[in-house]
Amino acid sequence: MSVLDNKKISFIGGGNMAQALISGLVGCGIKPNLITVADPSSDAREQLAAKGLNTVDPMADPKSAVIGADIVVLAVKPQMMKVVVSAFADVLDNQLVISVAAGLSTDLLSNMLGGYSNIVRAMPNTPSMIQMGATGLYGTDNISAEQKQLATAVMEASGLVMWVDDEEHMHAVTAVSGSAPAYMFYFIESMVDGAVALGLDKEQASALAMQTMLGAAKMAMNSDDAPAELRRKVTSPNGTTQAAVESMQANEIGRQIGEAMQACYGRSQALSEEMSK
The confidence score (pLDDT) of residue 1 equals 60
d(CA 242, CA 235): 5
Strand pairing category for 119-123 and 133-139: antiparallel
- Whether the CB-CB separation of 178 and 124 falls below 8 Å is answered with yes
Mean pLDDT by 10 residues, the chain (277 residues): 90 93 92 96 94 94 94 94 95 95 93 96 93 96 94 96 97 96 97 98 98 97 97 96 97 97 94 85
The confidence score (pLDDT) of residue 111 equals 95
- Main-chain dihedrals φ then ψ at residue 9, nearest 5 degrees: -120, 125
Instruction: Mention every residue, 6+ apart, whose C-beta is less than 8 A from residue 99.
Output: 73, 74, 81, 106, 109, 119, 120, 121, 122
